[in-house]
Amino acid sequence: MRRTLLFMAIGVLVAVVPASAHHSFAAYYFEDQSVTLEGTVQEFHFRSPHTVLVFTAPDSSGRTQTFTAEWGNPRRLSTQGVTVETLKPGDVVVVTGSPGRANSQYKVHLKGIRRPSDGWSWVGGRR
């Protein structure tokens, strides 16, 4: 009986820890809204838990700002053809996504991206 309770307790802990580590994008982004920004890649971080694209683009007032776009998990993206080599500093990209809830942070939850120079694109997992 004691052994069964121990295994049940371990099972509950294993199930709870990963669930608490993940967050809801809706807590940080207006998921019901969409913005499109054209800018230049500064950095591309292909790492877990989410890939991050840092790029400069004009804000709504026309001033150039540095935006951070949170993308999917690199393992999932790699099955869709996105790799660490996909985007390079200097690439001009058009990013579509949900704007961040804190306007001063210039964040986007990336939903689609394209590179006009060669026609490459990614839209919600479809290429």
72 domain residue, yes or no? yes
68 domain residue, yes or no? yes
Among residues 45, 53, 41, 54, the alpha carbon closest in space to that of 89 is found at 41
32 domain residue, yes or no? yes
As a whole number of angstroms, the distance between CA 56 and CA 98 comes to: 17
Number of domains in the chain: 1
The pLDDT profile of the chain, 127 residues, written as one tens digit per residue, is 555 544 444 554 444 444 444 557 878 899 999 999 999 999 999 999 999 999 999 998 999 999 999 999 999 999 999 999 999 999 999 999 999 998 788 999 999 999 999 999 999 854 4
pLDDT of residue 24: 74
102 domain residue, yes or no? yes
pTM for this prediction: 0.78
* Residue 69: domain span: 24-123
62 domain residue, yes or no? yes
For residue 48, list its beta bridge partners.
none
What ranges make up the beta strands (E) of 1-127?
A: 35-45, 52-58, 64-70, 92-99, 107-115, 120-123
What values do phi and psi take at 71, rounded to 5? Answer: -115, -165
pLDDT of residue 94: 98
83 domain residue, yes or no? yes
9 domain residue, yes or no? no
CATH of the domain at 65: 2.40.50.140
